[in-house]
Structure 1
Amino acid sequence: MDIIHSTVRKRKSYQVEVKYSILWECALGIAAITNEPLHETLERPISYWDRVKSELPASLLRELEYVQKHNTWKGLLQLLHELNEPTLDEFINFIKTRSSFELKYHCLPFVGEEFQEFRERAAKGDDQALDELKKIAADNPFFPAYMAFIVHTDVKELTNHLVEVMSQWYEHVVLADTKETEAILQTDYEAKIKMQNQLGVEAFVQWATGGISYQPEPHVYSVLLIPQICYRPWSIEADIEGKKVFYYPVSNASLRPGDLYASPDFLVQKYKALGDDVRLKVVKMLSEGDRSLQEITEQLALGKSTVHHHLKLLRSAKLVEVKEQKYSLKREALQLMNKELEEYVERQH
């Protein structure tokens, strides 16, 4: 059917904000150390996390076991978004002075503007509303159990736990390296702000996060980018009212702020992915249109496992993605490479 367009409305995009704080690094560190299955995929080796644990006091280990059981790191992140660049003391005071409803409401995850009534009712102890929230979040691996815990737990116990795990993690893990950590986060923040004015918002988000293509969504008016170290190389996605949040890994250059020659890790990965005859052919093919694995295999006359390996490398470099069981070229990622290379070559003290 042909359509006559009688509107001048354009697709709205979003605003982008970049923030950093040692407290987000705290909360994410608590999340990382208690997510043991993920340790082998993190940049810091398993031995690092084992060493950290071995040096912690028994009181903090008990709190971390509580986090591991109930995923309360999520509550810490949610609560941090309620304050604007707080100190640790301000954050702790905020937790301690919340009413039962306020604390539980802030800890419950945002699952959509249209479901806020369920969130409010659940925070007041309404089991029917909780059941609705659990249905909405059924696809998330931990949200339903986490929601039930937040709604049913004793608020004094929850308050004491959140205060203790945050303050003790800060004291025993973060404090000694605060200056170095803040310098890394600030360096990355400044690099992102410098590039922000040179790119469109969607291209900027893709560049800053190392390849995440985020398209505008209804009721999302801004994207918040938060640099982090402890979860490298992963980006963590979250939703809060009106915002999409990406806790993204700081760049190699930010980890070594005085090194002009520190190479941009995402850019290196892209060039490595393109440095092969077969993979270049795949990129050319996908520039002509999306294709299935079978179609690519037949056109290249190669084994399916070989082609799959090449596609895996292109996907890892965030140059290719899968849409509806077909491989698709991320054109914006290719176009950004020139800008990334230019930024690296012209980097100065």
Structure 2
Amino acid sequence: MRLMDLTNGRATYEVEFRFSTLFEAALGLAAATYPDIHHTLERPPAYWAELKAKLPADVQQHVSHLQRNNTWKTLLNLLDRHSFADLEDFLSYIQNSDAQQLRYESLPFLGQAWQETREKAAAGETTAVAALQQACRDHKFFPDYIRFLCEVEIDTLKHHLVTVMAGWYQAIIAPEEERVQGILERDCEAKLAMAAKLEAEELVEWATGGIRYLPEPHIDKVRLVPQFVYRPWSIQAEMEQTKILYYPVSDESISTEPDPDRPPHMLVLQYRALGDEHRMRMTKLLYRKDHTLQELTDKLGLAKSTVHHHLSILRSVQLVGVEGQRYVLKHANVNALFPAWQSYLERGGDLPE
């Protein structure tokens, strides 16, 4: 078969950054009410129980309600769709929203093909509600979440959202608002400094620590949202024409006293990982093409356990990944090594003339 390509080549997407302590509050509620992953989070399980114990009794009840109905997703949906100046602005939007619009914005985006059904479900059409539930029947909580949103009285929903968000923010976020804001701002600035040095796909992979997001026809924009509370997890969401990635902030961003001469921790680990002849040879082999463990073992003439050990080090610093049975080089992260090094050299102080 012969094919004549008349397209303009593969298009990519625009990358934007957005940060806010409001996201941190909504994601904190999501994390606190998801006990199944508490053992995988950076903070220990006891931390989340201690946080909830700080809340007033009525707010604790609303947090339990949020856990049953996953209404943290509603909070995130609203934050994704609008820019809010502060907590008061966010709460005011909820209180003054039209019932149908609030339901529509709260319902999950299931793709452009389901938008009309989503609108009808928000308007109260039971057949549309059932159709949406059927469309996401294999999702862990979306079907029940859709049912709840379309059945709950709108004033009850508004009261719940306002109470749980205001209560959590005032008890958990407000006491550390300045510190958290600083962490998010420092991380966003560090990522933006690399934006001019990397292509969009490379920037996303580097900023998120390894998420390879290839362009899709229906996505025009990727929004990167730094978050501290859900480390080390990245979380993906989607709305019209936009993919949203809530990515964990770097260790350097957490420092309360940023030192421009302190190199980024991950950059140190990456260069340290490459400071070995065998690992450099592996990197070059993987640069040429993907390899299985056995193929690398045969080419390097080393014991399989030794090769696996070296690959584990390269994987731990996000330079190598695994796809199926093959090891692959994370080209974007490798390509970002020198720009990240250059960015570190240029950070702070006076530049040489």
TM-score, length basis structure 1: 0.89
Matched, 1:246 2:245: yes
**CA offset digits 1:163-183 (Å, max 9, x no partner):** 101000111111111112112
Matched, 1:334 2:334: yes
Residue aligning to 1:4: 4
Amino acid at match of 1:291: H
Q: Distance in 2 between matches of 1:239 and 1:114?
A: 14
Residue aligning to 1:61: 60
Task: Give yes or no for contact 2:203–2:332 (8 Å, CA) kept in 1.
Answer: no
Change in CA separation of 1:39 and 1:261 when aligned onto 2, cut-off 3 Å: farther
> Bigger shift: 24-33 or 191-200?
191-200
Residue aligning to 2:30: 31
Task: Give yes or no for contact 1:235–1:246 (8 Å, CA) kept in 2.
Answer: yes
Residue aligning to 2:174: 175
Secondary structure in 2 aligned to 1:233? Answer: coil
- Residues 125-144 of structure 1: matches in 2 within 5 Å? 125-144=124-143
Residue aligning to 1:213: 212
Change in CA separation of 1:196 and 1:55 when aligned onto 2, cut-off 3 Å: same
Residue aligning to 2:224: 225
CA-CA distance at 1:121 after TM superposition: 1.9
**CA offset digits 1:8-45 (Å, max 9, x no partner):** 51221111111111111111111111122222222223
Task: Give yes or no for contact 2:183–2:254 (8 Å, CA) kept in 1.
Answer: yes
Q: Distance in 2 between matches of 1:83 and 1:11?
A: 30
Task: Give the count of matched residue pairs.
Answer: 348
CA-CA distance at 1:276 after TM superposition: 5.4
Q: Distance in 2 between matches of 1:271 and 1:149?
A: 50
- Residues 169-318 of structure 1: matches in 2 within 5 Å? 169-256=168-255, 257-274=257-274, 279-296=279-296, 311-318=311-318
Matched, 1:158 2:165: no
CA-CA distance at 1:260 after TM superposition: 2.4
**CA offset digits 1:89-124 (Å, max 9, x no partner):** 121111112222211111111121121112112222
Residue aligning to 1:20: 19
**CA offset digits 1:215-269 (Å, max 9, x no partner):** 1111211111111111122221110111111111222222125222444243244
Change in CA separation of 1:314 and 1:141 when aligned onto 2, cut-off 3 Å: farther
Amino acid at match of 2:118: R
Secondary structure in 2 aligned to 1:12? Answer: coil
Q: Distance in 1 between matches of 2:279 and 2:70?
A: 41
> Bigger shift: 139-148 or 273-282?
273-282
Q: Distance in 1 between matches of 2:136 and 2:321?
A: 25
Q: Distance in 1 between matches of 2:335 and 2:82?
A: 37
> Bigger shift: 301-310 or 233-242?
301-310
Change in CA separation of 1:311 and 1:191 when aligned onto 2, cut-off 3 Å: same
Q: Distance in 2 between matches of 1:76 and 1:21?
A: 13
Amino acid at match of 1:345: L
Q: Distance in 2 between matches of 1:289 and 1:197?
A: 28
**CA offset digits 1:132-162 (Å, max 9, x no partner):** 3334334432222222222222322221111
> Bigger shift: 165-174 or 10-19?
10-19
Change in CA separation of 1:47 and 1:307 when aligned onto 2, cut-off 3 Å: farther
Q: Distance in 1 between matches of 2:130 and 2:259?
A: 53
Amino acid at match of 1:183: G
Task: Give yes or no for contact 2:194–2:340 (8 Å, CA) kept in 1.
Answer: no
Q: Distance in 2 between matches of 1:241 and 1:271?
A: 39
Q: Distance in 1 between matches of 2:237 and 2:270?
A: 26
Change in CA separation of 1:262 and 1:70 when aligned onto 2, cut-off 3 Å: farther
Unaligned runs of 5+ in 2: none
Amino acid at match of 1:336: A
Residue aligning to 2:144: 145
> Bigger shift: 249-258 or 271-280?
271-280
Amino acid at match of 1:77: L
Matched, 1:85 2:76: no
Amino acid at match of 2:260: L
Amino acid at match of 1:266: M
Q: How high is the sequence identity, in percent, across the aligned residues?
A: 42
Question: What is the root-mean-square deviation in Å for CA atoms of aligned residues?
Answer: 2.5
Q: Distance in 2 between matches of 1:275 and 1:139?
A: 46
Structure 1 outlier segments of 4+, above 6 Å:
301-306
Unaligned runs of 5+ in 1: none
Amino acid at match of 2:101: E
Q: Distance in 2 between matches of 1:65 and 1:221?
A: 37
**CA offset digits 1:284-326 (Å, max 9, x no partner):** 3322322345544565677777766654554443323343543
> Bigger shift: 46-55 or 327-336?
46-55
**CA offset digits 1:192-220 (Å, max 9, x no partner):** 22221222222222222222222111121
Q: Distance in 2 between matches of 1:27 and 1:162?
A: 11
Residue aligning to 2:345: 345
Amino acid at match of 1:23: L
